[in-house]
A and B are shown apart, each in its own frame.
Chain A
Amino acid sequence: GAGVSQSPSNKVTEKGKDVELRCDPISGHTALYWYRQRLGQGLEFLIYFQGNSAPDKSGLPSDRFSAERTGESVSTLTIQRTQQEDSAVYLCASSSQGQIYGYTFGSGTRLTVV
């Protein structure tokens, strides 16, 4: 596609439910990143995929968070047993050559846990 596509754009869920957020990167981009942006905060790195290499999961805040990516295509971020502090905008970005050429960001998924 022409850009990074994220779905849904908005998600309201009840505390304790599981949610799945989807990211469709730009075709051919080997690197894919997930970030979280809480209200009034900067972007918090969550996880990074590069081709078929093992992902860098160092930013995942707890074992309730997980992500998958099949090859160089779609990625899914899953949050289990959601808590109110998980409320945030979840941003996905992709890049063709790592960080050097800059990321292309999606518009994000706004998650609200009630």
Chain B
Amino acid sequence: AQSVTQLDSQVPVFEEAPVELRCNYSSSVSVYLFWYVQYPNQGLQLLLKYLSGSTLVKGINGFEAEFNKSQTSFHLRKPSVHISDTAEYFCAVSTANQAGTALIFGKGTTLSVSS
């Protein structure tokens, strides 16, 4: 069975500071990895994904994540955050090369950006 652990439930930061949201996964097979974002009063939307190839993936709004197979991690980073980045962020995993399996989500990390 697969699982996802988001190590921080809440991350408060000041505007223009860098941020890292941590995600570790557990799986006995190859995986696809995703980050979703949920802005206040909005639905979840895809931020970025890792399927294969380069381990550094770039997403929307200046976010990027790095897949580290040896550490089974997929941490999300942004060098300088804005107030508008305040949201809940979810890491998710699914089995690679197996179409149709459901994503397994972590419990989420609330990013709060203040001025």
B100 contact from A4, A50, A59, Cβ within 8 A: A50
Chain A residues within 8 Å of B44, by CB: 43, 91, 93, 103, 105
Classify chain B: how many residues form its interface, as a range. Answer: 20 to 34
List CB contacts (< 8 Å) of A53-103 with chain B: 53, 56, 59, 91, 93, 97-100, 102-103
A53 to B99 Cα, complex, angstroms = 13
Residue total for A at the interface (Cβ-Cβ under 8 A): 28
Contacts of B42 in A (CB 8 A): 107
Could you tell me if B99 and A42 are in contact, using CB atoms closer than 8 angstroms? no
* B45 nearest in chain A by CB position: A105
Contact of B104 among A3, A45, A91, A97 (CB under 8 A): A45
Contact B45 A99 (CB under 8 A): no
The one of B34, B94, B102, B107 in contact with A42, judged by C-beta atoms closer than 8 angstroms, is: B107
User: In the complex where A102-B46, A107-B43 touch, is A41 in contact with B100 (Cβ < 8 A)?
Assistant: no
Which chain A residue lies CB-closest to B105?
A43
Distance, CA A36 to CA B81, complexed state (A): 29
Give, as a whole number of angstroms, the nearest-CB distance from B26 to chain A.
14
**Cα A99 to Cα B32 with chains together (Å):** 9
Q: How far is it, in angstroms, between the C-alpha of A35 and the C-alpha of B6 when the chains are bound?
A: 18
Bound: A72/B9 CA distance, A: 36
Residue on A nearest B9 in the bound complex, by CB? A40
Instruction: Please tell me if the beta carbons of A106 and B107 are within 8 angstroms of each other in the complex.
Output: no
A42 to B100, CA, bound (A): 20
B102 near A56 with CB under 8 A, answer yes
Q: B18: shortest Cβ distance to chain A, in Å?
A: 25
Interface residues of A, Cβ cutoff 8 Å to B:
3-4, 31, 33, 35, 40-45, 48, 50, 53, 56, 59, 91, 93, 97-100, 102-103, 105-108
